[in-house]
Structure 1
């Protein structure tokens, strides 16, 4: 997309826009190709945080549902802390805290981990993943509780183990229920990645700030990045609806109609 925007037609379009002293429409659209160069970083943070967050959320939900001894109180405290503190604070704790922990392990066990070579993206994804897990775990827990108990009993009667019931019955059905909420969470995480600039990561919002610092057109640059975030959110929402349609379980009436056509 960036190559398309960098083409001659787009530059001609930008040059035709008004360039006022107080507010420049040209500056809004002129910044979009440069900001889009950091779109892969933003998407990487989003995908990394959502994937690891989803796995953690599933683990948190299962621990809470089964009241696993020893682990459950720890999970409850961790989730309460993550919900009760701002994501920006969690990002800073991850950015500064993980290196301190690794240094302590180096000193205690004689390890030689190259902490300074760990990219800041790793710390940001860790913070976003835990923050997402704290909220998504309740969505997954509610979805698991909404699974038809009759299907679970049928799986038990077939001799399935607990892990098999989760893999083959509970998780697939819960995924259908939880998908709409998870898509909304993904959109929220996409917008939340704008905080990563506090950890020295140059994503789209940071790029907009850099451009604004060059000519002090901060307002125009922030409009540019807002338009891009808006467009990305629309694409994610469209993709989410597509996934919902694919995962939707047909009703008995639809199955009957399909059988009649056959």
Structure 2
């Protein structure tokens, strides 16, 4: 990486960290002039609302500025880029996740880790478009990780195993949430029951029973039972229970 590009990337990363942890860092001497009409929190909240409605692809600095009644260039005084804004949005969403009640049985606490991740992704589907790799940790995501660790502290897992358990539960919840979001989007266009009415008879004709005996039998049973290609909610309940029971069995 060229030196200039490296310096620019380092400066941008530092700026994002400063914005994420702005409530914890010492306040800088204020510049002279009128106080800004908005705060960074106002900008992030407007961006989250836009992404919830239109998705991440249509989120632009200009669109957020328009929603707030500002010129696009004015928004750069609050956030340096769209990438920085998305990092702030991810952390802001995580801030709404409260601690997992400590008085719940450990099995329920572990299931809650996955359930809350899944619910968050379904409520904010644009999160599925954000790369999970090397995300910059802000105070809200760090606090949630602390809550997740507290939920499984003392069950007999090593520190590495605790982190791995949370990662596995998160990955499963994310994959299932992706299926649930896709199912909801498809149902908005055509109901699952109507889709099966159209597709079911066609599949029966083009899938010879002697060539796909198991796929035909099981697929037909699934389609008739759910009136849909799958059951994301039921699959989540089934899968997360198996995962948690497997983790606890390994501890024992």
- TM-score when scaled to structure 1? 0.30
Q: What is the TM-score normalised by the length of structure 2?
A: 0.31
